[in-house]
Structure 1
Amino acid sequence: MPGVTFLRGDLVELRPIECDDAAFLAGLVNDPRIRRYLGTADPLNRTQKRERIESLDDAEELQFVIAVDGEPVGSIGLYEPNETWGTTELGYMIDPDHWGEGYATDAVSQACRYAFAERRFEKVSASVYETNPASRRVLEKAGFTEEGRLRDEAFVEGDRVDLHRYGLLAEEWFEG
């Protein structure tokens, strides 16, 4: 049974992650099509993911399952919120079987709406590998601006790659 919808967009709904989502989320992280865009190379099993989900109660981050008609298609989170600065970092992943359907863009838009309109953050940032142009397009469609590029910052599938840093300010979101 799917969890309760917390945010609803045009295409997706966002709901809090639950322990029952552990298998789905571990599958996403372990999928080589997704893993090459994440900041981790370590495998993750259901038990480890369940333990991570259980620790979210104590963590200062907000994570959601992205669902379509109640079925999970990805996850999104606002990480490392800095209440003093009013900033947070966005991260997301979509099941490759659902790439290109607009789900990531809708989820990013909903997460930003929540961050700015309900949590009163001043800025949401995101980092994307050079090798992930689709994710860069998602951020740009959602209103983010590229703020910088860290040369050879990451090591992905045997190669050094640049990391692009994006940001969206609350005033830009409200004006958009």
Structure 2
Amino acid sequence: MNILGKKVILRAIDEADLPLLHKWANDPEIWKMLGGWHFPSSVEYQKKWFAGLGADRLNQRFAIEVAELGLIGTANLIDIDWKNNNAFHGIMLGDKVIRGKGYGIDTIMAVMRYSFEELHLERLDTTIIEYNAISLSIYLNKCGWKHEGTRRNWYFRNNRYWDRIEIGVTRDDYFELIEKNNYWEDDKS
């Protein structure tokens, strides 16, 4: 089953995606904008990571695909808590040339739609490094997420510490947003 946005398709990650995912996994320009710590990874590491994807029902990772471009990034729902109906969400867009075209917004909207309308989750959370102003603006201003806290001096990048901005969205926030912006109004999915 694919998850359809208006511009993107979220699908299972395929073995054919691994060369591009390996390239992005070793791109410091991508990873300095994301949380966590990343070491250079080998092709063999990518293959082992891929081998573990299928059986993991608490961590779902998706390829972001655009019909005319192919694979452009990844999105996820991780640490899914089926009892309390929440999960952590993340997104990574690959090459810079695809950014600023609405694919990130559409991916977040598609993940929210799937999470709230199909999985019946109650909330999603994510964290953003304080200098990633573009991601903060997209989540907060375009996708209805709310600022829920700041952890000071959380990330260490470029020989200094940066705050971790914690944001979240609930089912009610999502349905209020789509009622206001009619995001899926012309959607045929």
Determine if the TM-score, normalized by the shorter chain, exceeds 0.5: yes
TM-score range, shorter chain: over 0.9
- 2:63 aligned with 1:65: yes
Whole-Å separation in 2 of the counterparts to 1:155 and 1:144? 25
Q: Tell me, yes or no, if the aligned pair for 1:65 and 1:74 is still in contact at 8 Å.
A: yes
Shift of 1:94: 0.5
- 2:39 aligned with 1:45: no
**Match in the other structure for 1:167:** 168
Greater shift in the superposed pair: 143-152 or 154-163: 154-163
TM-score under structure 1 length normalisation:
0.93
Whole-Å separation in 2 of the counterparts to 1:106 and 1:78? 16
1:107-118 alignment runs, 5 A limit: 107-118=107-118
Partner AA of 1:81 in structure 2: I
Shift of 1:124: 0.4
Whole-Å separation in 2 of the counterparts to 1:129 and 1:92? 13
Identity of aligned residues (%): 26
Whole-Å separation in 2 of the counterparts to 1:99 and 1:9? 16
RMSD of aligned residue pairs (Cα, Å): 1.3
Q: Tell me, yes or no, if the aligned pair for 1:19 and 1:54 is still in contact at 8 Å.
A: no
Whole-Å separation in 1 of the counterparts to 2:43 and 2:136? 29
Whole-Å separation in 2 of the counterparts to 1:54 and 1:137? 35
Shift of 1:128: 0.2
Q: Tell me, yes or no, if the aligned pair for 1:91 and 1:126 is still in contact at 8 Å.
A: yes
Whole-Å separation in 1 of the counterparts to 2:4 and 2:14? 18
Shift of 1:17: 0.7
Structure 2 regions of 5+ residues with no counterpart? 178-189
Shift of 1:175: 2.2
Shift of 1:41: 2.8
TM-score under structure 2 length normalisation:
0.86
Corresponding pairs, count: 172
Whole-Å separation in 1 of the counterparts to 2:90 and 2:175? 21
